[in-house]
Amino acid sequence: MKPNQLDQLNAAILHSGLELEEAQFNPDKRNLDLLVDLISSLNSKDSVNLTIRLIRYYKVITNYRKRCARFLFEVSNLHESNIAIVPLIKQPGYTRGSGPVIAYEIRSLSANYEGKFRFFDSPWEGKGLSSQLPKYIVDDFIGTGEQFFDMYEEIRRGNKDFNVAGVFSIACMQHGHQRLIKGNLRHFCYDICEKALDVHLRSEGGDVTRDYSLYEEIEALLDVDAVDHLGRNQSEGLISLKRTPNNTLPIFWHKGREKSWPAPFPR
């Protein structure tokens, strides 16, 4: 990696905040080192420049507490009654996933609200379904909103009275956020992400058609599934949380056909 490219990469990391401790994806390796490995694998000056421009807009969120605390404060002021917190879960009996993790984080911060919040393990069964309290579904990330609505409608098919007052997510893609709003769901989210090339790079006023072409040359090295081209359903995300959603551009998380691509923020 050339010295001027390292200077440009450092500037991009400072612009995006990736040098901050709370943004470190891998506790054993700095984001700078992870991204140097990525940049060093690129075989042309143009692909290096494009990737560094994308890094300027990349966001890593590994500390959820401030966002969860803000959600608790804001939603507590909306209701005089108690409030139900329900994790988004794929199916009955499913105990893994990010929804329960976010619900646990929120619960750990709720002591100051003197029992105002009630926590349920699942939206599929028992009191999670029957409670008449205002309900808020929680999860870490919403991409296009397609998976969220598939799961939400599946729950409602089992119980038509299951309605929610709103949704909380740590982060969200802009188009997913808009889909929730159009679905008449209030969405609490403090990190709403725009598309990488179509919004961020386009705003720079350059040749976006050429940017897409350059990006696709890099991605072609990975042999990703068609649905993940440009991120799941062409989401063009530039975000990692404690895990990296597949809505993010694959060059940042996909290991490649030989499992040797130096993805800085793998899933």
When pLDDT is cut at 50, 70 and 90, the band that residue 196 belongs to is: very high
Which pLDDT value is given to residue 157?
Answer: 79
Which ranges constitute the DSSP H helices of 140-183? Answer: 146-158, 174-182
pLDDT at 40 over 90: yes
Place of tokens 């000056």: 45
User: pTM for this structure?
Assistant: 0.91
Q: How far apart are CA 73 and CA 79, in angstroms?
A: 11
Instruction: Give CA–CA dist 134/163, Å, rounded.
Output: 8
CB atoms within 10 A of CB 52: 21
CA distance linking residue 65 with residue 148, whole number of Å: 23
Distance CA 7, CA 2 (A): 9
CA dihedral (179, 181, 184, 188) positive or negative:
positive
b/e for 65-88, b at 16 or more Cβ within 10 A? eebbeebbeebeeeeeeebbbbbb
Per-residue model confidence (pLDDT) at position 139: 94
What are 64-121's pLDDT values in tens digits? 999 999 999 999 999 999 999 999 887 666 656 789 999 999 999 999 999 999 998 8
The number of helices, as runs of H, and strands, as runs of E, in the chain is: 10, 8
> What value does the mean pLDDT take over residues 5-19?
96
The tens digit of pLDDT for each residue in 126-173 reads 665 666 889 999 999 999 999 889 888 887 777 777 778 999 999 999
Mean pLDDT, the chain, rounded, equals 92
Question: DSSP label at 194?
Answer: P
146-158 and 174-182 helices, crossing angle to 10° = 30
223-228 — which CB contacts under 8 Å span 24+ positions?
Answer: 223/256, 223/257, 224/250, 224/254, 228/254
Residue predicted with more confidence, 221 or 52:
52
Domains of the chain, earliest start first: 3-61+194-252 (no CATH), 65-190 (3.40.50.2020)
- Separation CA 39–CA 34 (nearest Å): 9
Residue 123 has a pLDDT of: 77
